[in-house]
Structure 1
Amino acid sequence: MRVTEKGQVTIPKEIRDLLGIGPGSEVEFISTENGVRLVTVNENLSKEDIAVRFREKLGRMAGTLDLGGMTTDQYLDWIRGPREDLDPR
């Protein structure tokens, strides 16, 4: 991606669609230790729009976590580790 003389870049369509960026959208660039993050400023979104975007993002994540055959409860027990206050073995 090349920066123009005016300091502009074109955000790829796939990224614009993923983040819901359209004409007039506001974005911010945030410096991190690994580079820069592009984030959207959602100050004018309705609660319904935010909920729709959240459901869409959840839908894209569905099926991406392999629990190795564990149930959700088994996975949570595994990730949390032993709880002495609940199970003093």
Structure 2
Amino acid sequence: MRITSKGQVTIPASIRERYGLLPGADIVFVEDEAGPRIMLAEHSGRGRRLVDRLRGRADAGMSTEEIMALTREEG
């Protein structure tokens, strides 16, 4: 494996799958006596970023019960 002039590397698919390194995953580099390591960042991934982005934006002016009533079949 080689590092490109931009500092990029290709992580083999088997390693990405084994450790959940999916596209969009946030990673961190950790240094210890053995050298640098790649680790998944806490709260990593696309889902977490979407939740963080949308948190606090909803303002439908309706209660939770009113919103849930819209999703239920009422006959």
The corresponding residue for 1:41 is 41
Q: Kindly, what percent of the aligned residue pairs are identical?
A: 41
Give me the TM-score of the superposition, normalised by structure 2.
0.53
Which consecutive aligned stretches of 4+ in structure 1 deviate over 6 angstroms post-superposition? none
Total equivalences in the alignment: 46
Across the aligned residues of Structure 1 and Structure 2, the Cα RMSD in angstroms comes to 1.9
Task: Give per-residue Cα distances to partners, 1:7-64, cap 9 Å, x unaligned.
Answer: 0001111111111011111111101101111101140578xxxxxxxxxxxxxxxxxx
Structure 2, unaligned runs of 5 or more? 48-75
Quote the Cα distance in structure 2 between the aligned partners of 1:44 and 1:36: 19
Structure 1, unaligned runs of 5 or more? 47-89
Give me the TM-score of the superposition, normalised by structure 1.
0.46
Instruction: Give the conservation status (yes or no) of the 8 Å contact 2:27–2:44.
Output: no
Which has the higher relative contact order, 1 or 2, with Cα contacts under 8 A spaced 6 or more apart? 2
